[in-house]
Amino acid sequence: MNQSEVLVSQLKQGNQSGFTALVDLYQDMVYNTALNIVQNVDDADDVAQEVFVQVYLSVNAFKGESKLSTWIYRITITKALDHEKKKKRKKRFGFIQSLFSGDENELHLPVEFNHPGVQLEKKERAAELFKALKKLPDKQRIAFTLHKLEGQSNQEIAEIMNTSLYAVESLIGRAKRNLKRILQNYYNDKFSDQ
Amino acid sequence: MNKKDKINDFVEQALTSADSCERAIAKPFLLTRINARLNQSKETIWEKAGWFIGRPSVAFSGLAILILINVTVIIYNRSEPASVATEQPAQENIDVYTYTTVSTIYDFENSEPQ
């Protein structure tokens, strides 16, 4: 029995120390993945909590057909995307409300995201990359994020996304091309303004 | 360096900016917050029912339904003839009824002789 199998069996028996060990082992992985998607530290913390609550409540549904980390990655991605959709809905509703009330303070303007793990001299370019990432379709964004920021292999990404290796390679390739185009347009506008 | 080269350089820098990105570390006491959330999710059926009934929309709807039922009952009772009160007693009981209701001198004088 490897470590994750021991953790799962402990968790299935309702062992609290097993759950503590699981949180200790996976909290940074979950938090970092959520942060790369939602691009906000408080939201990422919220998502991380939701993920572990879900893991605790549905551990009996985990059959062990995939790795524990793969299962947790899937939950994290689903929760982070749901969180993002909810936030977008709220923003849209806030915008409509502000139109009627005329209160400009209710408009929540997007804040530039600085990933805490990026080197200081690269922070500005990284913020622009994260901004561009937001414009990608969900699948391309997830594949790129897992590959670039989580350091996962294409095979692992295929397992997490429940797709083929070829599809992952294609998604990453398209993500890179789209990012390049978005960034080129962005810098083009930026330099033409100056 | 012309504008196009500069843009390409910036794009390349942006695309490689996350290459050596370190993993972000979760905020401290995450487990405590998770446990608090788990305890919240373990509400009893009565707590859930109380929370549901306590919602303003549910509470006001319930109150409105209660008032509506009361008003309907009152209106229905008013429009219906008081059938029990006006019902004529059976013929054989009329005399008995008359005797028992005679209570004044006037009633005695005007009562029919047997």
Taking an 8 Å cut-off on Cβ atoms, the answer to whether A23 and B34 are in contact is yes
What pLDDT digit, counting tens, does each position of B61-84 carry? 999 999 999 999 999 888 776 555
pLDDT number for residue A168? 96
Tell which of B11, B13, B19 to mutate to test the A interface (max A CBs under 10 Å).
Answer: B11
pLDDT confidence band for B33 (50 / 70 / 90): very high
- In this model, does residue A181 exceed pLDDT 90? yes
Top mean pLDDT of A5-19, A70-84, A87-101 is at: A70-84
Which of A30, A41, A117 faces B22 most closely, judged by CB atoms?
A117
* The amino acid at A71: W
Kindly report the length of chain A. Answer: 194
Taking an 8 Å cut-off on Cβ atoms, the answer to whether B15 and A29 are in contact is no
- What distance in Å separates residue A106's CA from the closest CA in chain B? 24
A39 φ/ψ sector (left φ>0, alpha ψ -120 to 50, else beta): left
Taking an 8 Å cut-off on Cβ atoms, the answer to whether B17 and A49 are in contact is no
Q: What is the gyration radius of the CA atoms in chain B, in angstroms? A: 43
DSSP letter string over A61-107? G--SSS-HHHHHHHHHHHHHHHHHHHHHHHHHHHHHHHHHH--GGG-
pLDDT number for residue B85? 55
What angle (nearest 5°) sits at the alpha carbon of residue B24, between those of residues B41 and A2? 70
List residues of B whose CB lies inside 8 A of any A CB: 3, 6-8, 10-11, 13-15, 17-27, 30-31, 33-34, 37-38, 41
* The amino acid at A63: K
Average pLDDT rounded to a whole number, residues A48-69? 92
- Contact between A97 and A83 (Cβ < 8 Å): no
Distance CA B63, CA B51 (A): 16
State the pTM of this model.
0.73
- In this model, does residue A41 exceed pLDDT 90? yes
Taking an 8 Å cut-off on Cβ atoms, the answer to whether B38 and A48 are in contact is no
Distance CA A182, CA A1 (A): 47
What pLDDT digit, counting tens, does each position of A94-148 carry? 767 777 776 655 555 566 888 998 888 899 999 999 999 999 999 999 999 999 9
pLDDT confidence band for A37 (50 / 70 / 90): very high
- In this model, does residue A9 exceed pLDDT 70? yes
**DSSP at A190:** H
Neighbours of B100 (CB within 10 A): 9
pLDDT number for residue B79? 78
